A and B are shown apart, each in its own frame.
Chain A
Amino acid sequence: MPFLKQGSNESRYLNVALPKGRLGEKVLAMFEKAGFECPSIHENNRKLIFENPACGVRYFWVKPSDVAIYVERGAADIGVAGKDILLEYEPDVYELLDLKMGNCRMAVAAQNGFRDDPQRTLRVATKFANIAGQHYLSKGRDIDIIHLNGSIEIAPILGLSDVIVDIVETGTTLKENDLSVIETIVPISARLIANKSSYKFKSEEIETVVRELAAQTEAV
């Protein structure tokens, strides 16, 4: 005999974790265009959770780097996260769609004129220790990772590191700090991710989102 009643833990809403900021706003517009509207999210207030019972959707704004955690742990059924976050934290989620937005690249950058000496351990400053570690492991290169949380660009200037591994969009910050990209590790863009268990029990809703967003992505 089962110890739980059917549906005792079910949520009738499709819970969507959106990354705060410009990317999140764009993604929300895509969801709304796909029919998952939520008028209350446009009200001027400080709320973080918004729902529309009519279309069974609930949105929450979360820090972009936390989206994958909300989805992996099942607090959100689906969400939109950057490929950088997915590569760094390797959450156990489905990656259902490349939204082809927020395009940038994960790259190795160094001061202009930098020459790598393979005899020495390479000092790498980064927020993305896992990505940097994997990249250099695949090349068989010994590195010393210096984990920083921001202003990575100043690390080579101050002699803290030889190179940095970071996200590069336009390259302006690098240029202004006399740095340049010496190697691209991987292109980055926003991805639609889903909790593995939610995908089983809300498959119809999630598949509808995937289909609608894919159509919009392809139309661009």
Chain B
Amino acid sequence: MQLGFIENVMFSLRTLYNTYGYAQYTMSKFEEYDLYARNKDFLISDSVITFTDTNGKLMALKPDVTLSIVKNSKDEPNTVQKVFYNENVYRVSKGSRSFKEIMQVGLECLGAIDDYCICEVLTLAVESLQHISPACILDVSHIGLLSDLIDRMGVPSEKKAELFKCIGEKNTHELQNICREVGVDDVAIGTLKQVVTTVGKPSNVLPKLSVLLSDLPSWGDFEHIIRALENDAISEKLRIDFSVVDDIHYYNGIVFKGFINGLPAAVLSGGQYDKLMQKMKRQSGAVGFAVYMDMLERLDHTVSEYDVDVVLLYDETADLAVLRGKVSELIQGGCRVLAQREKTETIRYKQLMQLRGNEVEILENNA
């Protein structure tokens, strides 16, 4: 049987993650609602399908996988647990404003994560994108570095969310207004604007950013990781872009988003979320990403022109053994066969055949 585009991608991603020693993680569709209520901001959409279980507990259909993996992970700060998943999640779709079942493939690396783990996850993110299409880009940013920069500028905490929103939109004009409102000087505003608009391959961008950011505490972490990947095969697909932002209450280090040419939004999203681990009373760190498989539908060009290769018509006089033999023969020859008494108008076929006695007659040939 021919696999569809999405199934093919899914299988290849599973193989890829397995190659790097990630074990498949399976889980129940349900989770206690309380987990999401406590971490609402971590979710892409805060609407959750809930129901009361037979024991009276308020349950939810999973809107997210990472929270469940973290919740069920062992808190062993000296080891690293590497898992991947292939699960359906239930979220409100922005367009239809109704719940949607979304297939998600992803991986998490939890525990004593180090720069190797982060580089490995970034490599796997790029390779995941490349398995979908060669025309892909992974935008990489560092939430800790951005936070350091904004702290250095003296932006009050109540304005940070607004400022991060502007950074995410590359909205330098509003960003400037907010900074001026809170008394940030023009030099610092200029630096932030430059950081947000300096986008490109690591080798081109790192020297420019170094001039602006090298005195910040998180610069060393960021530079070390990016330098390690700079001469790697994946660096062609990497872009440094500080407009990739995520919730500063959950993410602390590298954050990234993956794009495929032809798809209007990011198909991959991830980052280092040590702060979520801390919130969930874990002593270690974590990094991971998810690929939104539902978005790949638009890339699926494997849809066949025909529903079947052969429609084989027969009537009440047909000998059952002969009919079964002819169907089997056609299937053996590699055809998809639909045997039926009357032709269905909506079926698209290459050949229309009619069984007459022991012989098959070709009535139509569309191939």
Contacts and interface: CB of A to CB of B under 8 A. Distances in A.
Range of interface residues on chain B? 20 to 34
B132 interface: yes
B335 to A, nearest CB: 25
Interface string A3-33: 1111111100000000000000000000000
Nearest to A4: B133
Interface stretch (B73-81, B167-175, B286-294): B167-175
B259 A200 contact: yes
Interface stretch (A93-101, A124-132, A141-149): A93-101
Contact of B132 (A4, A73, A195, A203): A4
B134 A73 contact: no
A139 B133 CA distance: 47
Nearest to B133: A4
A2 B139 contact: no
A136 interface: no
Contacts, number: 86
A72 B134 CA distance: 23
B263 interface: yes
B262 interface: yes
Given A4-B299, A93-B169, A94-B243, A73 B135 contact: no
A9 B243 CA distance: 25
Given A10-B135, A95-B169, A197 B5 contact: no
B264 A6 contact: no
A92 interface: yes
A10 B264 CA distance: 12
Contacts of A98: 173-174
B134 A6 contact: yes
B12 interface: yes
A201 interface: yes
A51 B263 CA distance: 22
Interface string B163-204: 000000111011000000000000000000000000100000
B110 interface: no
B12 A1 contact: yes
Contacts of B47: none
A196 interface: yes
Range of interface residues on chain A? 20 to 34
A96 B170 contact: yes
A196 B171 contact: no
B133 A2 contact: yes
Contacts of A8: 133, 135, 262, 301
A201 B265 CA distance: 12
Contacts of A196: 259, 264-266
B265 A92 contact: yes
B260 interface: yes
Interface string A73-85: 1100000000000
A73 B171 CA distance: 19
Given A3-B5, A98-B173, A201 B135 contact: yes
B48 interface: no
Contacts of B133: 2-4, 6, 8-9
B9 interface: yes
B26 interface: no
Contacts of A72: 264-265
A196 B134 CA distance: 18
A153 to B, nearest CB: 29
Interface in A164-216: 195-198, 200-201, 203
Nearest to B199: A203
B169 A94 contact: yes
Nearest to B299: A4
A208 to B, nearest CB: 14
Contact of B261 (A1, A9, A94): A9
A198 B264 CA distance: 7
Interface in B226-285: 239, 243, 259-266
29 contacts: A2-B133, A2-B134, A3-B133, A4-B132, A4-B133, A4-B134, A4-B260, A4-B301, A5-B134, A6-B134, A7-B261, A8-B135, A8-B262, A9-B262, A10-B135, A72-B264, A74-B263, A94-B170, A96-B170, A196-B259, A197-B259, A197-B263, A197-B265, A198-B264, A200-B137, A200-B259, A200-B261, A201-B135, A201-B261
Interface of B: 5, 8-9, 12, 94, 130-135, 137, 139, 169-171, 173-174, 199, 239, 243, 259-266, 299, 301
Interface of A: 1-10, 72-74, 92-98, 195-198, 200-201, 203
Given A7-B261, A201-B135, 14 more contacts: A3-B133, A4-B133, A4-B134, A4-B262, A9-B299, A92-B94, A94-B169, A96-B170, A196-B259, A196-B264, A196-B266, A197-B263, A198-B264, A200-B139
Top 5 nearest A-B pairs (CB, nearest first) are: A74-B264, A9-B262, A4-B133, A95-B171, A98-B173
